[in-house]
Chain A
């Protein structure tokens, strides 16, 4: 062989971090090159924001806290909803990998197994960050004004990061288990649709039909929406911030090892 090859001489932990960074780069490249999906990342949130504000704005206004207009109320809900639905993309990307020979290829390399999942989950954070920024800019154009300070924005970013990671790791489990991309779409739709709609995302949770109210008020989506909303437009925080963090951390603690374990099990059969 002509080239003398040099191998990295770093501790194993360091190398497994490098593996994850390489896989994050891979998944991010996928996102950038998949133009259809990228268009969705830009336009779907704009469409949702404009439609919801225009369609429900008038009707919901009556049940809103005094002095809050619907666009201000809606912003946090739409952002959380978009992130929740966006996790489908993570699941699909993982299912795609599992269906093709490429997971075998990765597993035949002396790399960290978890890096494949890490790559998809973390690149999802980037995609969600783009969506969120697009939505906030669109909101500003439509007349949305926030009372948040710089610190509040940092907290919002932190909460959204936690939320994205938690949902993406749940999506990773779905992605590993699903037998087809259609299966993923179906499953995430059935799970995420009720979760986002039976919450305080689009209307105050207290205005829902009575039997749904206990669910909506304890729905993790409601906690996240209310926490972000409070930081954005100054609605009461109550217990929502704390509950959000608890939910996110608990989900991560449970979902990450399960996803990793399932991934290992499914790929070694």
Chain B
């Protein structure tokens, strides 16, 4: 892994990225940067490349061209676990909790030295503390999502990637998680890249919004602008923003 430019205050940097699965190219010429403490939401219709964007940052896809850097370290050719150690954490779409492990163990296997430890996760999600001895498959959907977030956080990432974390959850849990996301962003200063199908949640979460369309970035700018210009938002994502 090279450690030349971009500067370290940019915790995430993609430069002219072409990536996909095997020979199929899904992302085309994607460039974006995230500075430390600045979050962004990614929205777009299904199949537009949102999840592939996160997968490419994690190293799950084949990078055809371009460069991916985490905290100033070029991780374009690095294995996934090295990217995680460079400072990126992922909350996957399917949560993918280890069902043979307890809540405590799910957190323990991902723990690395830093300000986020298991106890702090329990402070953030007291319900996880109550369920700490439960196996991963003995949790509700909301609790599994809390655990997936906690598991990413105990890895002490500099940038947290969240792939549709509210999908399939009850509205009351979605509200609860939104409060948590805001706390992470504002109180903990966490840099978050949130991929979200629910554009209302996405536009409310971050000042910056990235719209993916056909594997390219169709919009990268203020969330407020899109919130006000509903016609443009409808054109970009093809649904009512609500």
Q: Is chain B a partner of chain A in the same complex? A: no
User: Which residues of A does B touch, CB under 8 Å?
Assistant: none
User: Which residues of B does A touch, CB under 8 Å?
Assistant: none
